[in-house]
Chains A and B, each alone.
Chain A
Amino acid sequence: MTAAPDHAPTITGLSTWQRMQRHLPLLLVPLLVVVGYLAIPATSSWLTLTVSGLAMGMMIFIMASGLTLVFGLMDVINFGHGAFISVGAFVGVSILLALGSLTGAPSLALNIAAVLVAVAGAMAATAVMGWIFERVIVKPVYGAHLKQILVTMGGLIIVEQLILIVWGPDEIFFSRPEMLKGAITFAGAAIEKYRLLAVGFGLVLFLAMIWVLRSTKIGLIVRAGVQNGEMVEALGYRLRIVFVAVFIAGSALAGLGGVMWALYQEVITAHMGQEMMVLVFIVVIIGGLGSVEGCFIGALLVGLLQNYVGFIEPKVALISNIGLLVLILMWRPQGMLPVVKAK
């Protein structure tokens, strides 16, 4: 048999600039941090705002990561994703309130244990809810975008009303566990302990997700499925099952994000998920549909920008993220790191 000539691939024809362009979005976060440093007069304020922005970004990322994969894998637009955030927050906070002896104890280990139990409960509840949501609400409308928007919005409204029935119409205020209250001082800046914890936890979760996506067979199937689901099925993999698993995992992550956001704000409402969905959708769109890395960068940009602009010019903070969305889409109409190309 004749062996093929070892032709040079097209990659050798790409200039350094062309290759760098693909990775330019990675520079946006450090760039924004530097711009923030130059724009904010006091270094201590800048440091506080940066940690706050990163913490907020990490929480938005946790809420949004499942949604971007769900869209990428099965072309499903789930406007009901906010329901998982709200339910996660209510279940998690209910558990925390029930574990008052642990959260009130002046012991970091006991406090963390209480938070972990709350997180586990919230994730379990939202995972089960995600499975039911997919079977009952999403499955009948595969391939029909308009119906998906209407039906999932309807699902969100129903869940919000159920929350009002179970937990009542009032906002629920609560306090963080004892050892997560307060701040530490670093370089003259007061940095809340919880925000540091959120940054660390979000980073670990992101790295874990990247590891699963890049180093396991299921991750490989998900990444391939986001690009060309039809071909993955033609190889012999049942993408529907993978999709349901990703939907359940994404719902559980939204629930986790809900608990973390609740601990950040120290107040929960039935509509908190719906309110967060504006930021979540901005992050998913500017990140590039189906891209976990893009979602991560987008979330950090949104968190940092909101905090910096909120400090410099509070009135502009409301529209700063819409401005970011417009600028990114003018630069890259498919988002920063788009994955969904074959659909």
Chain B
Amino acid sequence: MSDPVLSLQGVHTDIAQYHILRGVDLEVPAGGVTMLLGRNGVGKTTTLRTIMGLWRAKEGRVVFRGEDIAALPTPAIARRGIGFVPEDMGIFSDLSVEENMTLAAVSGPIDAERLDWLQSVFPPLRTFWKKEAGTLSGGQKQMLSVARAMIEKRRLYLIDEPTKGLAPAIVATLAGALRALKQEGASILLVEQNFSVAKALGDTCAVMDDGRVVWAGEMATLAGDTALQERLMGLSMESA
């Protein structure tokens, strides 16, 4: 396994009076897809938001490419080269698709070639380029959310449940886009409930329970071991 691009060491995070993360240790290897799995409410989203600095780690280190970013403000973390797709997509609904994409191009004007490629992957972005993002369907909003993160090359992408509630055709498209990112050499930390997507995309995997990572290893190992799946997550993913 290659060196980690990101590592969390003993990260604790509180939200109001609740102690959500209770010592998360996690490594995301460079150039691969790491799946973050676990039941609802175990701290997956909190982990991503803590990495982005949207919720502050009370304790522990978040090391990105050798630098502890735990205390940095969110914009500084993003500008280190981390793209974030939140669970609620974070679309600016009163802005057009074009304006959403323009805003995401932080370093300057949109690269025409990359935009062309993204529009070929997600044709609705081209069709509804001038439309208000709030008028798009759920699947189209999710495409916009992922495309927005991809409009500039990032070193690491944090993506929170991109396929939730989407039709199979759109899930396949998103999976294809993530595969393309991987081919670009980007690292991805992906929270995903759809195990067939996780199995198809993941190189490594970490399973969380009660605010901690309770198992980490190769995705293939988990995918091939029903007993392990049942022990870690209380369900078999064999049929998925």
Contact = CB atoms under 8 A, between A and B. Distances in A.
A78 to B, nearest CB: 23
A237 interface: yes
A1 B74 contact: no
A224 interface: yes
A9 B124 contact: yes
Interface residues of B, number: 42
User: Interface size for chain A: under 10, 10 to 19, 20 to 34, or 35 or more residues?
Assistant: 20 to 34
Interface in B75-100: 75, 78-79, 84, 86, 90, 92-95, 99
B54 A234 contact: yes
A7 B169 CA distance: 11
Contact of A3 (B103, B104, B120, B139): B120
Interface in A98-116: none
A4 B123 contact: yes
Interface stretch (A160-168, A192-200, A225-233, A259-267): A225-233
B128 A9 contact: yes
A182 B95 CA distance: 45
Nearest to A290: B94
B92 A231 contact: yes
Contact of B106 (A4, A237, A339): A237
Given A6-B127, A220-B103, A1 B137 contact: no
Interface in B116-159: 120-124, 127-128, 131, 135-137, 139-140, 143, 148
A238 B75 contact: yes
Contacts of A238: 73, 75
B176 A1 contact: yes
Contacts of A221: 103
A236 B79 contact: yes
B42 interface: no
16 contacts: A1-B179, A2-B172, A2-B173, A4-B139, A5-B170, A7-B140, A9-B128, A14-B135, A220-B99, A227-B94, A227-B95, A228-B90, A228-B92, A230-B74, A230-B90, A235-B104
